[in-house]
Amino acid sequence: MNIQGKTVFVTGANRGIGADLVRALLKHGAGKVYAGARDLQTLPDFGDSRVAAVQLDVTRPEAVSAAALQVGELDILVNNAGVMNANSLLTATPADLAADMAVNYYGTVSVIQAFVPLLEKKGGGVIANVLSVLALAPMAQTAGYAASKAALHSVTQAARAELKPKNINVVSIFPGPIDTEMAAGLHTEKASPAAAAEEIVNGLAGEQEDIFPDPVSAQVAGFWGSNPKGLEHHFATL
């Protein structure tokens, strides 16, 4: 979809990949970008009148409904908000596991449900969900987070099938390691969030169904396509 003049909503837009998505969308000529944030005080100054701040905690149903009401029209919804609490399968608490599901899975689903009518009103549009390469195969120490992203991967595929008749295209985004707060504890090669955001927006503009926005995820894409079991074995060694 050509980004020029389009209206886009980005969840979790106050930092990390989300903030750089806002910047990349503006650079690509978006007409309006709604920047969703739990706390509006944490939003950076994007220095652009096309940005509108919207308070949105995706785990609060009333906030999700209010955000959808605030948005008059919409072409593209980017579900970027995410958390990573549950690490080791053996030590993750029920609260950690539930927190990852609450944001990454249930929260994203509730945003999709609330925002689909806005896309329908425009005769169609795009929903892009930020997953992770860990949605395709987990690594040790990622059990709860990977499960929440795998659940979202499944819902993304279901949404693709269910929303096609409404002319809504559903896009999966599978980042590898990106240099944000979420990946602060990860000591490996990481892409910059700005570079990943640029690749994501290029992928949206190029109407890619699956976007692998960084060098590591691009390698994973090849592996996943040709040898998913091999990918599981490879990730298990990392």
Ligand X SMILES: NC(=O)c1ccc[n+]([C@@H]2O[C@H](COP(=O)([O-])OP(=O)(O)OC[C@H]3O[C@@H](n4cnc5c(N)ncnc54)[C@H](OP(=O)(O)O)[C@@H]3O)[C@@H](O)[C@H]2O)c1
Q: Does 125 bind ligand X (CB under 6 A)?
A: no
Among candidate residues 34, 105, 106, 145, the one labeled active-site is 145
- Helices 108-121, 61-70: axis angle to 10 degrees equals 20
Residue 59 near ligand X by CB under 6 A: yes
103 binds ligand X (CB under 6 A): yes
Among 15, 50, 122, 234, which residue sits at the site for ligand X (rule: CB under 6 A)? 15
Q: In sequence order, what are the beta bridge partners of 95?
A: none
In the list 22, 51, 67, 82, the residue contacting ligand X (rule: CB under 6 A) is 82
How many other CB atoms are found less than 10 A from the CB of residue 103? 21
Rank residues 129 and 169 by Cβ distance to ligand X and give the closer one: 129
Closer Cβ to ligand X, 11 or 164, answer by number: 11
Give CA–CA dist 159/6, Å, rounded. Answer: 22
Stretch that binds ligand X, among 1-9, 27-35, 50-58, 118-126 (CB under 6 A): 50-58
Q: Among residues 28 and 38, whose Cβ is nearest to ligand X?
A: 38
Report in angstroms how near the CB of residue 33 gets to ligand X at its nearest. 14
User: Which listed range, 69-77, 78-86, 114-122, 163-171, lies at the site for ligand X (CB under 6 A)?
Assistant: 78-86
Contact string 131-170 vs ligand X (x = CB under 6 A): -x--------------------------------------
Complex with ligand X: residue 3 or 103, whichever CB lies closer: 103
Contacts within 8 Å (CB) and 24+ apart, 82-87: 82/12, 82/130, 82/149, 82/182, 83/182, 84/142, 84/145, 84/182, 85/144, 85/145, 86/143, 86/144, 86/145, 86/147, 86/148, 87/141, 87/142, 87/143, 87/144, 87/145
Which one, of 7, 28, 13, 18, lies nearest residue 173 by Cα? 18
Nearer to ligand X, 124 or 218 (CB): 218
Report CA-CA distances (Å) from 83 to 1, 19, 62, 165, 216. 28, 15, 20, 31, 20
Q: How many CB atoms lie within 10 A of CB 137?
A: 21
Of positions 42, 93, 157, 227, contacts ligand X by CB under 6 A: 42
Residue 105 is a catalytic residue: no
Dist CA 182 CA 159 (whole Å): 26
Catalog residues that contact ligand X under the rule CB under 6 A.
11-12, 14-18, 38-39, 42, 56-59, 80-83, 103, 107, 130, 132, 175, 177-178, 180-183
Catalytic residue ranges = 145
